[in-house]
Structures are given as C-alpha cells and as structure tokens.
Structure 1
Amino acid sequence: MSSPAEFYHSLPPITKAYGTVCLLATATYHLGLYHPAYIALFYDKVFYGFQVWRLFTNLFFLGPFSINFGIRLLMIVRYGVQLEKGPFDRRTADFLWMMIFGAFALLVLSAIPIFWSPFLAVPLVFMLLYVWSREFPNAQINIYGLVALKAFYLPWAMLALDVIFGSPLIPDLLGIIAGHLYYFFTVLHPLAGGKNILKTPMWVHKLIARWRIGVQPISRGPAANNPQQERGSGVAFRGRSYRLGG
C-alpha cells in the first residue's frame, strides 16, 4: 500500500491543485487567518467595492472541517482523478478549460438572485460529479451501503440526500446545470452534428505547455495534428457516442 505522500504525488495535476487549495482554504480558516465573509461572493462588493478577488476565492471554500467537507473533498479526489486520468488523459488543457468554464458558468448563474450562493466550491464539485456521471453512466455505485444505482443517476441521488440531511438545494443544482451545459456543448451538440463552441482556447494550451503541467499528448501521425480527429478516435468518443444513442 502506498504512503499518503506517494498517493498525493500520484494525483493528476489539476485535480491535485484544486483539492489542495480547497483543503488549505479550510485549514487557514480554522487557524483564524481570515473570515469567510471576506472571500464570499457578494456582487455589490465586487462591482461597487472593487473587491474583484471574491470572484475567485469563493470557488475554493468548501466550508469548515466536517463530514460534509470530507465528502466533498473525497468527491474531488475520486471523480476528478477518474476524469483526468480517463476521458481527459493527456488532455490536461481540456480538463483545465472544463474547470474554467464551470467556474464562469457558476458565476453567471449565481448572478440570478434565486440562484445566488456565497460560495461556489460545492457547485463546482457537483459539476465534476455530473460530468463524471455522463462519462461513466453505467458504473455501479453503492451509496453508504444502502442503495445501489448506476452512475448516471448519482448527481440526483446526492442532491436528494443533501436535501434530506438539511443542506441547501441551490448549490447542488447549480453544479448539475453547469455540468450539463459543458457536456451538452462539448459532447452532445457536436455528436448531433453541431459545432463545438467550447473548444479549448489556444491560450489554455499555451499555459499548460509553458508550465509543463501534466503529460503532453503523444504524437501519432496525422491524428495528432487534428484535435477533432483525435478526440473522435479514442475511448472517450466511443463511450460518448454509445451514451448519446442510449
């Protein structure tokens, strides 16, 4: 069995970075270094008080140390890792772009008063969960040893459990909406003959290359020079095309 340090170093880069920052955000809160009110998403303070950092800091606070915090962190580790090492293997830029799009979508949705939430870390985790459930829809999941169901239904089951246990509905629902938007525009719409309007921008690829984050794609001839062709030739496409038909 690997040590905790070995396990941590084995995590893929984007998932490891996001989970680490979320853990540090909660740890520093418990050390009394800041109050959550100073990093929460209040649009009036962003636009009228020029406290722009709130657009970013709210995305990393999962709440104080608790069972709920532990569950969210484990969700990042489990579902983020499986995505980054599975459908997004050697596509670190695409995974990072998914996270960026998810954060932006959540910020826009949260601007609607009925959907407003002071912290969007939990919705971002739920977005990861939703995309994972669409990539691995037939995986069998056992929830707390009580209920067995297909992964496709897991986001809704987790939402129902959160409501039963007294957690607010809106954060989970926001994450599901953001996850569906990403999956629709990048997978379902292109498979139906439409254009992928969420193609990863070149600046994200350059950022990944500049900082040497993740494993770079292996050149395999003509397909390596054609991202659309390469995307359609791998395991992820076969699974996605099957799911669209299913």
Structure 2
Amino acid sequence: MKTGLVAFFAALLLLCENGSDVQGLFVPSSTPIGTTFTGVKSLSSSVLELRGGAKKRGSSIKPAKTVTGKKKVGDKLKAEKQSPVSKLLENYRKVLPYTRAYITAIGVCTLLGVVLGEELSQSILALDPLRTLAGGEIWRFFTAASYLGTPSVTWLLDSYYLLQYGSSLEQAYGAAQYVVFLFSQLAILSILSILFGQPFFARSMITAMLHVLSRAMPKQQVRWLIFTVPYWSLPYGLMATDVLQAQSAGAAVPHILGIISGHFFHFHRFIWPKVGGEDWLKAPAFLSKYVDPAPRADAAKESVSRALKSRRKGKGKKLGL
C-alpha cells in the first residue's frame, strides 16, 4: 500500500514537470495575451502555462568536456544513475513554496487515510462543528481543506489540478497575496461547509482557484474535453464532469461552494476597489515584506544602500607624520 502511495505522488510530480494530456481537458488553447488587470504579475502567462507547463530552457552551464572537446564519459553515467526518488524530490523542490506546503498537507492527510483507514481518518480529519468549535479541535479547519480521500484516479487528478492552479495563482499574485487568498477561502469555505453539511472542502478549494483564474480572462477560448468554451465556464465544466462521473447531483455541491467563495474573493479584490470600495483583501505590507522574495531582496538592497550613504569619510593622514 505504501508503494502505491509513493507511486501516486511520483506520477503527480512527473505530470507537473513534463505536462500531460490531462491538461488538455481544462486549459487555454491559445498563447498568452498579457496582463489582464493591475496588481497581478503576468497573470495571463501564468494562467496559460496550464496548457503544457513551463517552457523548457536550455542550461546556461556547458557540459564538461575533455581536452579534445568530447564530453566526459562520467557525465552521461551520472545522468543515467539518477534514481526515481531523486527525480521526485527534485520536482518537489521546484514547486512554489506555499503551493508546496499545501501539497505536503494533502500528502500527510492522504497518508493518515491509508494508515488509519478511511472511516477512522475521516472521523479525525472531518470538519465536525461541535468537536471543532466546542471541543477546541482547531486542526479540523485545516485537515478538512487538505483531505482528498485515499489514493485513486480521482485523487490523482484533483491533486494535479490543485498543483497546477495553485502554482499559477502563487506565481501570478505573489506569495503574500496567495497566502491571503488561501486563508480567506479557508474561512469562507469553513462557514459554507458547516452550513451545507460538507465534512471536507479540498475540492471546493480547487474550484475556487480555477474560478479566480478564469475570471481574469473570462472570454478567452479554452479546450474542455473535445469542446472549445469560454474560460469563465471552465469551473462549471469541472463540476459537470464530477456529476457525470458520480451519477449524482450531490457531487455539484463542493464545486458550487468553491465558485461562491472564489467569486467573493475576486469581487472584493478586483471589482469592489474599482468602484470606490475598500481593498481589504489586498496583502498587507508586513506580510509582503516577510513572504515575498522580491520585496525582501529590495529591502536588503535598500538597507545596504543606506549603510553605504551613512558612512563618513575620515580625514587622511600622510605616512610618517
């Protein structure tokens, strides 16, 4: 069983690196069209990277060669000796930090489901209002957002979508804004899930991510299965797929909750401020300072610059005096 679980994670991360035909189900069919709204860094290109992953770039490091100009034999042997586990860890490290943390939480909850069994793990991880609020079991807010069930094909696809959409959002908005998005969705979906009796809402988080991405370019033409549809309809296509697969209308509930919570974030972050409302979902400056790598680098450069400017030049003295 453990071997099967490792195989699922390996397949997930290898899909992320190499791209997959799965992406053809829910991805744009044209090239990037540029940034759609202010405050978002290269959102269009980040969204459209869902089509086939990041473009491969040639390495700037030239391969080692002998004096005669031929490649060293050891380089080829070293490349061939790279184990699947090393490849898995390498792909894992390439994932953006907060998406990687979320994927790790998914993996931990999945492992608990495998070890403890589905029934016992659900009793420990599910969002039970009485045990969460009255019993003080606060961890249930986080585990309910991180449990996708035991390993299966559905689990693999959901994890893949979370990895792709989460990485695109984190790259587009920046780490600080992505953290605000995650916690806002955690709060809203916790309330909605309690009201609608949903013990887990990880699938709702995935739909919320897709909805926010799709609202950036609502009229962009994308592929869904064998159809070409507007991007705004993609979350509904994902919902229809789950309903048909489960043969039950109840499978639409997590997606509906995700669309509601995702639209709440999109409206209050990008629409409400344009009509004079307060931009209260914008990442605060202190959070950007500590979690975004670019602001940290700028702050370090500014600190060094101030230190250099504050240095006073002393008066020189001639030797021997």
Q: TM-score, normalised by structure 2?
A: 0.59
Aligned position for 1:13: 97
Aligned residues: 209
1:137 and 2:218 equivalent? yes
Q: Given the alignment, which residue of 224, 229, 242 partners 1:149?
A: 229
Q: Deviations along 1:65-94, whole A, 9 cap, x unmatched?
A: 1121111111111111122222x1xx2111
Aligned position for 1:41: 127
- SS of alignment partner, residue 198 of structure 2: coil
| Structure 1 segments of 4+ aligned residues over 6 angstroms from their partners | none
1:216 and 2:294 equivalent? yes
Aligned position for 2:257: 174
Q: Deviations along 1:107-162, whole A, 9 cap, x unmatched?
A: 122232xx221011111111111111112434443234x22223221001111111
Aligned position for 1:23: 107
Q: Deviations along 1:4-56, whole A, 9 cap, x unmatched?
A: 43332221111111012112211231123762211101101223333222222
1:162 and 2:242 equivalent? yes
Q: Deviations along 1:210-241, whole A, 9 cap, x unmatched?
A: xxx45223659xxxxxxxxxxxxxxxxxxxxx
- SS of alignment partner, residue 117 of structure 1: coil
Aligned position for 1:95: 178
- SS of alignment partner, residue 78 of structure 1: helix
Q: Is the 8 A contact 1:97 1:204 kept in 2?
A: no
1:79 and 2:162 equivalent? no
- SS of alignment partner, residue 294 of structure 2: coil
- SS of alignment partner, residue 30 of structure 1: helix
Aligned position for 1:189: 272
Aligned position for 2:8: none
Over the aligned positions, Cα root-mean-square deviation in angstroms equals: 2.4
Gaps of 5+ in 1: 221-246
Q: Which amino acid aligns with 1:7?
A: N
Matches within 5 A, 1:42-81: 42-81=128-167
Aligned position for 1:235: none
| Cα distance between partner residues in 2 of 1:96 and 1:9 | 19
CA distance 1:48–1:194, change in 2 (3 Å): closer
- SS of alignment partner, residue 141 of structure 1: strand
| Cα distance between partner residues in 2 of 1:159 and 1:63 | 18
| Cα distance between partner residues in 1 of 2:99 and 2:219 | 23
1:122 and 2:206 equivalent? no
Q: Which amino acid aligns with 2:188?
A: A
CA distance 1:103–1:8, change in 2 (3 Å): same
Gaps of 5+ in 2: 1-17, 19-55, 57-86, 300-321
More deviation, 159-168/126-135: 159-168
Aligned position for 1:233: none
| Cα distance between partner residues in 1 of 2:104 and 2:292 | 16
Q: Is the 8 A contact 1:29 1:35 kept in 2?
A: yes
Q: Which amino acid aligns with 2:213?
A: W
Structure with higher Rg: it is 2
